[in-house]
Structure 1
Amino acid sequence: MSNATPSQTNITVGLQYRGLLEIVLFSAPITLPCCVFLFINGIMLSTLRSKSVFRETSRYILLYNLLFADTMQMALSQLLYLLSACRIWLTYPACGVLAMLLDLTNEVSPLTLMVMSLERYVAVCYPLRHATIITIRNTGVAIVVVWAFCSLNALIRVILLLDFPFEELESLQMKDYCSDTAMFLSPISHDYNEAFTCFLFVSASVTVTCSYIAVVIAARSASTDKASAHKARNTLLLHLVQLGLSLSSTAHDPLFIAISKNLDRVAIVRLQIILYVCIILLPRCLSALIYGIRDQTIRPILIYHLCCRLKLPRLGSQPR
């Protein structure tokens, strides 16, 4: 027979209700925008598979790969956030798999931007050889190389984790929330991550910047199509902005730690929500919106799908 008094039962229920209410209040401001962003990215991915012109054009294939990686990264980030909001601690193997997939998709984005910049460079500076160099087969090979390179990096990180003495732990249950930084269990893993991140973004930045400069120089040539060069220059400038946004996600944790030192708990939670939405989620959705609005081929199909395939009546038409 239970010895709990009605007052103790009410206190327990009240604490459980407060805990559930706190989880909902903290997770809802992030989950709702993330669902909207995932919906937009999903519509964009569906749009890029809806027509043969998208499936048979190299730059649209590369764009699909970029959006796919961003969407996967957004979904995994949101999953880890919900796990932490619900105070669920994973085991080291489960967290390691999620962190590996998160890092993999995060690294595919800048490398894909680098390949997209090279494609625009060839289109402007070598227009007669563009159809020969930038083929569907070569584009597929480039995408496979990007994913293989990032997978190799993930494998190296797993090998570095083997140096950690897991056998000395009482259990494989983590004592903290799962994140990519939580899996840097040794100084060498942390140093390797910083070195690889620096190498990745320096290489991508140099490639995109050099492509942009080459296109600007080519635009001044009398033999270059001015309209095509101007459009390619704007596209490469957009790639630079996207690369900067991708780089900002790597500064999320250090920035959050530096700002939150002198804040109370409520302010820290609000700061975490703001930084997470602005630095992690929003950049992953901007690509779909920007390309969907800028590209005249994608725009009408994207709007058609966003409107749930409804055909709006023409202005001035009369119903029958």
Structure 2
Amino acid sequence: MQNPRQSNTNTTVVVQYQGLLELVLFSVLSTAPSCVCLFINGTMLIVLRSKPVFRETSRYILLYNLLLADTVLLAQSQLLYILAACRIRLTYPVCGVLTMLANLTTVISPLTLVMMCLERYVAVCFPLRHTSIITIRNTSVAIVVVWAFSSLNVLFCVLLLLNFPFGDLQSLQMTDFCGKESMLLDQVSDVYDKVFTYLVFLSAGVTVTFSYIAVVVAARSVSANKDSARKARNTLLLHVVQLGLSLSSTIHNPLLIAISKVLDRIVIVRIQIVFYVFIIIFPRCLSALIYGIRDQTIRPVLMYSLCCQWRRSLPQFGFDRNTVLENNT
């Protein structure tokens, strides 16, 4: 007859093995898409710096800024996910640096989408003044303003953190895994983060919606370039989707906290991984996919690069700036 104690031990070992196997499986399923997106985004960033036409066109400069922010945020999210999966707890200073980096790039993405929408709005509604308004200098100034605005938000968050009495803690080692919510140590920080996030996305949503409506109205006018207006309208609609997905990432953790009150821990872990793939990873790769597939100028160069066919024959594509502006206006 089998010893009951031995049977319980075997059952415990099997459960632990299944738990470890499931953890490894879900980690692979979440890490693989993240690595693919990082590879695509990284390739896209290299492509956007590979030819003068991309470096001298405002819309591609804005796209580069958007992809850079999304790529940094995706890499930071994947790093925190790996640390949590390995049950590694950081100290408050290290987690604070990673969290502030996420705060910086989270704000840059929607604001860059706003600038890209305004660029399309000017191109359709004021085509004769497009080249004088949307210049390289004005675009660079707008990007600097966006980074400065986001940096001020980070600075204010740091000042709020400094008010927390860290000296009263026995250790700076965190008792929970590193995350944005883990660094909202008091009520003031939590309220400020929510108010600032809501204001940014509300302002971005109103601006993108206004641009879309203005382009639709312009498309119905007799003097409008129908093909240009149609392309701009579709682009703006995709920007609305991107903004919505970016907003969904801000409710990722609050939604998990709400679900954790009614479901088992194992189920929550599975749901968390699904949310992570579709709410965190996918939106950060969407910009590269949209422009890599839709843009007639980027597509051949991106496909060429993704196939790892790096040769000195890249100039064979022979694009010039005037052709790009004419095809993508």
TM above 0.5: yes
Q: Secondary structure at the match of 2:119?
A: helix
Instruction: Specify the code of the residue in structure 2 equivalent to 1:93.
Output: P
CA deviations over 1:195-222 (Å, ceiling 9, x no partner): 0011100110011111111111111112
Instruction: Specify the code of the residue in structure 1 equivalent to 2:96.
Output: G
Name the residue aligned to 1:136: 136
Change (3 A) 1:52 1:310: closer
Name the residue aligned to 1:198: 198
Instruction: Specify the code of the residue in structure 1 equivalent to 2:247.
Output: L
Runs of 4+ in 1 over 6 A off after TM superposition: none
Distance in 2, Cα, partners of 1:172 & 1:254: 25
Distance in 2, Cα, partners of 1:216 & 1:47: 32
Distance in 2, Cα, partners of 1:245 & 1:24: 27
Distance in 1, Cα, partners of 2:310 & 2:97: 41
Name the residue aligned to 2:187: 187
Distance in 1, Cα, partners of 2:84 & 2:22: 13
Q: Secondary structure at the match of 2:261?
A: helix
Name the residue aligned to 1:114: 114
CA deviations over 1:41-73 (Å, ceiling 9, x no partner): 111111111111111000000001101110110
Q: CA RMSD in A?
A: 2.0
Name the residue aligned to 1:86: 86
Tell me if 1:49 matches 2:62: no
**1:110: Cα distance to partner?**
0.2
Equivalences for 1:207-226 in 2 at 5 Å? 207-226=207-226
Name the residue aligned to 2:172: 172
Name the residue aligned to 2:307: 307
The number of equivalent residue pairs is 300
Distance in 1, Cα, partners of 2:110 & 2:125: 22
Instruction: Specify the code of the residue in structure 1 equivalent to 2:249.
Output: S
The normalised TM-score by structure 2 is: 0.87
Distance in 2, Cα, partners of 1:196 & 1:266: 33
CA deviations over 1:118-164 (Å, ceiling 9, x no partner): 11111111111111111111111111110110010000000011121
Instruction: Specify the code of the residue in structure 1 equivalent to 2:104.
Output: L
Name the residue aligned to 1:286: 286
Instruction: Specify the code of the residue in structure 1 equivalent to 2:68.
Output: F
Q: Secondary structure at the match of 1:296?
A: coil
Name the residue aligned to 1:61: 61
Q: Which moved more, 1:200-209 or 1:212-221?
A: 212-221
**1:225: Cα distance to partner?**
1.1
Report if aligned partners of 1:26, 1:85 keep a CA contact under 8 Å in 2.
no
**1:261: Cα distance to partner?**
2.5
Distance in 1, Cα, partners of 2:115 & 2:310: 36
The normalised TM-score by structure 1 is: 0.89
**1:259: Cα distance to partner?**
2.3
**1:290: Cα distance to partner?**
1.1
**1:182: Cα distance to partner?**
0.6
**1:22: Cα distance to partner?**
6.0
**1:266: Cα distance to partner?**
2.1
Instruction: Specify the code of the residue in structure 2 equivalent to 1:239.
Output: H
CA deviations over 1:160-188 (Å, ceiling 9, x no partner): 11121111011111111000111000100
Name the residue aligned to 1:125: 125
Report if aligned partners of 1:216, 1:233 keep a CA contact under 8 Å in 2.
yes
Name the residue aligned to 2:95: 95
Q: Which moved more, 1:22-31 or 1:117-126?
A: 22-31
Name the residue aligned to 1:32: 32
Name the residue aligned to 2:161: 161
Q: Secondary structure at the match of 2:128?
A: coil
CA deviations over 1:267-300 (Å, ceiling 9, x no partner): 1211110011010111111111111101011111
Equivalences for 1:202-281 in 2 at 5 Å? 202-281=202-281
Distance in 1, Cα, partners of 2:222 & 2:47: 37
Distance in 1, Cα, partners of 2:214 & 2:153: 31
Instruction: Specify the code of the residue in structure 1 equivalent to 2:48.
Output: L
Report if aligned partners of 1:23, 1:86 keep a CA contact under 8 Å in 2.
no
Distance in 2, Cα, partners of 1:266 & 1:194: 29
